[in-house]
């Protein structure tokens, strides 16, 4: 008897096999006809309540969509607003500001370097043009 009492007082959680045994147990034989009828009525009532709650939720979701449409809010606008807010939030971070300054400074240096290279190349082409014109004109001067 004490072993049975100990089993009822166990503090360990049910294991998978214990849950399966409880789920497959047939307790209907332990219930009176009156209790069975009460449980069946409660089951029907709960199913009706769940159906009603689903209908109410669906109606509220439709109403939400209508309000958003009236306010001009749609999925695309919400995505745009979320993106704009996220972009603004990112731009205000210290890391973004430092990176922006660094890249801006590097861009200015690169622009100056490309400008200098372009000037040097133009000067070389100008020198080559002069040299070519000069060497072309020299043989003509020698023939005279």
Domain ranges of the chain: 30-92, 94-132
Q: Tell me how far CA of residue 55 lies from CA of 43, 48, 62, in angstroms.
A: 19, 11, 11
CB 93 within 8 A of CB 99: no
Residue carrying the six token digits 């497959």: 24
How much is the mean pLDDT over the chain? Answer: 81
């990112």: which residue's tokens? Answer: 90
pLDDT tens digits, residue range 91-124? 899 998 899 899 998 999 899 988 888 888 888 7
Q: Find which of 21-30, 87-96, 128-137 is predicted with most confidence, using mean pLDDT.
A: 87-96
Mean pLDDT of the 38-51 span: 96
pLDDT interval class at 75 (50, 70, 90)? confident
Q: Is 1's pLDDT higher than 50?
A: no
Phi, psi at 12, each rounded to 5°: -75, 140
- List all residues 6 or more positions away from 119 whose beta carbon is below 8 Å from its beta carbon: none
Q: Is the pLDDT of residue 49 over 80?
A: yes
Express each pLDDT in 5-21 by its tens digit: 455 556 666 666 666 66
Cα 56 from Cα 49, distance rounded (Å): 10
* Range list of H helices, the chain: 2-8, 16-24, 33-70, 75-91, 94-143
């Amino acid at each position: 008897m004490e072993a049975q009492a100990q089993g009822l007082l166990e503090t360990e959680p049910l294991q998978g096999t214990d849950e399966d045994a409880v789920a497959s147990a047939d307790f209907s034989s332990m219930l009176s006809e009156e209790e069975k009828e009460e449980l069946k009525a409660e089951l029907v009532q709960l199913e009706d309540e769940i159906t009603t709650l689903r209908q109410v939720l669906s109606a509220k979701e439709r109403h939400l969509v209508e309000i958003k449409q009236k306010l001009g809010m749609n999925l695309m606008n919400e995505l745009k607003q979320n993106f704009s807010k996220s972009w603004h939030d990112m731009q205000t971070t210290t890391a973004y500001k430092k990176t922006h300054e660094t890249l801006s400074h590097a861009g200015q240096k690169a622009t100056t370097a490309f400008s200098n290279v372009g000037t040097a190349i133009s000067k070389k082409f100008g020198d080559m043009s002069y040299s070519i014109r000069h060497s072309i004109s020299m043989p003509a001067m020698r023939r005279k």
